[in-house]
Amino acid sequence: MTETPGAHPTEPARPTGSDLHLDLPAGGGRRAALMSALREAIRSGRLAPGTRLPPYRALAADLGLARNTAAEAYAELVAEGWLTARQGSGTTVAERAAPAPPARARRPAPQPGPAHDLRQGQPDAASFPRTAWLAAARRALTAAPNEAFGPGRPQGRPELRSALADYLARARGVRTDPDRIVICSGFAHALRLLFDGATPVLPPAEQGPLAVEAYGLGFHRGLLAAAGVPTVPLPIDEQGARVGELAHHPDVRTALLTPAHQFPTGGPLHAARRAAVVDWARGCGGLLLEDDYDGEFRYDRQPVGAVQGLDPERVVYLGSVSKSLSPALRLGWMVLPDHLVDRVLAAKGEREAWAGALDQLTLAEFIDSGGYDRHVRRMRRRYRDRRDRLVAALAASAPHLEVSGIAAGLHAVVRLDAGTEREVLRAATRRGLALDGLADFRHPAVTPEAMPTADGLVVGYATPPDHAYPAALAALCAVLPAAA
């Protein structure tokens, strides 16, 4: 019997089977017990055909048996046809008829995805910088201190916090230092830390109802509702959220805004309103939560700086790589006023349970090496081209429809006549086109008196692969209503 490790040169590699768990039945001889346990493991399917068994010496040591006992058991099972042994291949489970698996309830077949996907919120997955990211990961692992492979720190790796402090100051106008940055897994995780913990993070003066924009993600409103936080909608117009309305809600001490690019209607918060909302927070002892949604992707001029730069003690700045790189990385950050850092760390717990240290180290290296800047610039050009093709297609086929929110981000809004949105979405579904309607993002408490109802489509232009984008645009144009 051979014990030569490694697969036969002409055969595909098999599972090595280096560790093998066997329960030897009590009573009788040890060789018979080992043979019985191996037969049962093979008969039940736990040892699949082709699985390589450990060398008999290793198995004997693991089970506390004599080497001859294990060798003789292997030899007899080979003779019986349960095992095979070949020079250069070791001992493997024979390629014999496997037992029929137990009957299982039939699962429903997965539903096919849409033929064309123009939903908002997803970056171009095919453009993830795999080669550059892998190179950054190798450099980061080589330079990582040994303690990086121990339990994670709740504040996040110092390498990433330092890289972010420099990058956010340079690219977004954020005023901070690494000690005021807490790493999280994304924007939703940040909201949970602030509002959904057993111990309130916000001081009593900043608790109470939360002001939000009249249009936004229902998922975020649902998260806040589950945490027992009521939301008060602020109407929006072409200059962003009407923050002057905060004066009519004296019980509100905290507001959540998307100043760089209002989601989903588009457009930055006007400079006068940026200053006004900071003054409001100072005056009432409140807090502004700044969701830097799509902050990197501005096409017609330089990105708008962060509101946080106006008053770092009254603004919590929230960002992530979910749009700039990939939501699969699960990496985000909170830039906090000094009085909230310890409170947020207490909410996270003693050890990091969300963001892996290796991804944090890689992102830090990716930023420090300039790879992140190069990727963002490349994607800015790519998405701007996508946007231009969308605008051109709409201008050619539906010039009567207004297109807004195109100066930044990964989506545009196509305005529709009142009462037509649902029918257009039904027509899109019939053509296999996935779209979001503007009404789906409207806060349920917004009244027509506070803000007129608007029909429209939120068209994401980042998701389709290049080869599928023309067909997706054609499908979109085909379902748009003709001029009245």
Domains of the chain: residue spans and CATH: 1-103 (1.10.10.10), 129-370 (3.40.640.10), 374-479 (3.90.1150.10)
Using the predicted structure, report yes or no on whether residue 100 has a pLDDT greater than 80. Answer: no
Burial of 47 (0-12, 13-18, 19+ CB in 10 A): buried
Confidence of residue 105 (pLDDT cuts 50, 70, 90): low
Task: For residue range 8-62, list pLDDT tens digits in order.
Answer: 444 444 444 468 888 887 767 889 999 999 999 898 888 989 899 999 898 988 8
In the numeric block, which tokens belong to residue 318? 């929230």
DSSP annotation string for 16-60: ---S----PPSSS-HHHHHHHHHHHHHHTTSS-TTPBPPPHHHHH
d(CA 85, CA 76): 11
Please state, in angstroms and rounded to a whole number, the distance separating the CA atoms of residues 333 and 164: 9
Omega into 264 within 30° of 0, i.e. cis?
yes
**With contact defined as beta carbons under 8 Å apart, do 272 and 358 qualify?**
no
What gap in Å lies between CA 73 and CA 62, rounded to an integer?
Answer: 15
Task: Summarize pLDDT for 358-377 with one digit per residue, the tens.
Answer: 999 999 999 999 999 999 99
The torsion angles phi and psi of 316, rounded to 5 degrees, stand at: -100, 115
Q: Please, which residues have CB within 8 angstroms of residue 407's CB and are 6 or more apart in sequence?
A: 266, 267, 298, 299, 300, 301
Confidence category of residue 289, pLDDT binned at 50, 70, 90: very high
- The amino acid that residue 50 corresponds to is G
SS3 484: coil
User: CA–CA separation, 316 vs 301, rounded Å?
Assistant: 25
pTM of the model: 0.85
% the chain with pLDDT above 90:
68
pLDDT tens sequence across 386-442: 999 999 999 999 999 999 999 999 999 999 999 999 999 999 999 999 999 999 999
Residue that is written with structure tokens 């195109």 in the block:
406
